[in-house]
Amino acid sequence: MRQINEGTALPGIIGTVATPGTVTGAGLDFSPYYEPSFKAVAAVGAISAGTVVVHVQGGTASGDGSVSYGTIQAAGGAQGTTVYELNVPDVTTRYVRALTTVAGGTVTPVSVSFIAKAVTT
């Protein structure tokens, strides 16, 4: 029987996204090392204007984003860091990644993490 370890944080993206700009995180080798569900958490810093969209994707290789698992959207405002989350209940690909796009402003910083359950034998 496999045991589950709760709450392993996997880094996706950390950095500044200028406008118009896109940052693609490296693909994480997800399956078979983690249970087939996770939570994507985006910490978005002050947004000068515009929007931030984090696309959570998957594929058969680390650079493949052919499967969409959902998006996290944040609107502008200089309110400071806000945390957003997205539950991904059914991962069907080996790799997962985050692609972050900013339109109409600059965001400092943006970080995306995947909270997953590691599988141990």
CATH code for the domain of 37: 2.60.120
What is the pLDDT, as a whole number, of residue 39? 93
Domain interval for residue 63:
3-120
What is the pLDDT, as a whole number, of residue 4? 40
Number of structural domains in the chain: 1
The pair phi, psi for residue 3, each rounded to 5°, is -100, 150
| Residue 6 pLDDT exceeds 70 | no
pLDDT tens-digit series, residues 65-101: 999 999 999 865 566 678 889 999 999 999 999 998 8
What is the pLDDT, as a whole number, of residue 36? 92
The predicted model scores a pTM of: 0.83
Cα atoms in the Cβ-side hemisphere of radius 13 Å centred on 23: 20
- Judge whether 93 and 59 are in contact, CB under 8 Å: yes
Tell me what percent of the residues of the chain surpass a pLDDT of 70.
Answer: 79
Helix, strand, coil tally for the chain in percent (to 5)? 0, 75, 25
- Per-chain mean pLDDT for the chain: 82
Taking the alpha carbons at both ends of the chain, their separation in whole angstroms is 7
pLDDT tens-digit series, residues 43-59: 887 777 778 889 999 99
What is the pLDDT, as a whole number, of residue 1? 36
